[in-house]
Structure 1
Amino acid sequence: MTRLVDVAQKIRSKNAGPFWLTIDIFCGDAERFERVRAGLDTQHVAALFRIPSQTLKRFDIADLNTIKLSLPRPNIQGMPADRDMHGASFANLLMEIEGF
């Protein structure tokens, strides 16, 4: 099976404030955007991050060939339980999803 990281041009995650994370999937062109859009299951992504699917916000931005996901941080930024102050490691979980 083809992994998301093999299809997308770039996948990154970052803080969207102290309570939210955002993950951007840059596809590069319309063909790859459609491939990722069709293959990326929102329910599966929510399960991967162990959050209710209704709290995951997804934005498919065709003009930019980009999919943006926003989700609550598992721990408030800067708290002792926060293992990723900048939110940069969350994209790594998505990279290995198969089915594209």
Structure 2
Amino acid sequence: MRLYELASLIRSKNAGPFTLTIDVMFADPAGYARVRDNGLLSPQNMARLYGVPQERITVHNYDPAQAIKVSMPRPAASGSREDHDVYGGQFHGPLVLLAVP
């Protein structure tokens, strides 16, 4: 099963010009618990996927909303010459097809 099959929403966006946030939300409590508890979105896995030092990544599980929020530094400041996504809206792409154990 892929992450997109369990999640009702997977999105990314800026959290300021230097930080990116990724939200994964679930309609089903079982799907949320499965992803939350298996470490798929752990700092270790996110560091590997995005090439960001693990200690710079935070993961927040918010049980009442069945949501997981991942925050990390952007690879380039929003709007800078090196930036390829000024709004941060495409950074969730690598997560969509992740296999969920």
If the TM-score is normalised by the length of the shorter chain, which range does it land in?
over 0.9
Superposition deviation, residue 29 in structure 1:
2.6
Gaps of 5+ in 2: none
**Could you tell me the percent identity over the aligned residues?**
37
Asked if the contact 1:45–1:94 (Cα under 8 Å) also holds between the matched residues in 2, the reply is: no
Query: How does 1:50-89 map onto structure 2 within 5 Å?
Result: 50-89=51-90
Q: 1:35 aligns to what?
A: 34
CA deviation vs aligned residue, 1:64-92 (integer Å, no higher than 9, x gap)? 00000000000001111100000000111
Higher alpha-carbon deviation: 68-77 or 22-31:
22-31
Gaps of 5+ in 1: none
Q: 1:17 aligns to what?
A: 16
Q: 1:5 aligns to what?
A: 4
- What SS class does the counterpart of residue 23 from structure 1 fall into? strand
Give the TM-score normalised by the residue count of structure 1: 0.93
Please identify runs of 4+ aligned residues in structure 1 that moved more than 2 A.
none
Q: 2:99 aligns to what?
A: 98
Residue identity matched to 1:26: M
CA deviation vs aligned residue, 1:1-29 (integer Å, no higher than 9, x gap)? x1111111110000000000100000113
Superposition deviation, residue 41 in structure 1:
4.2
- What SS class does the counterpart of residue 84 from structure 1 fall into? coil
Residue identity matched to 2:69: K
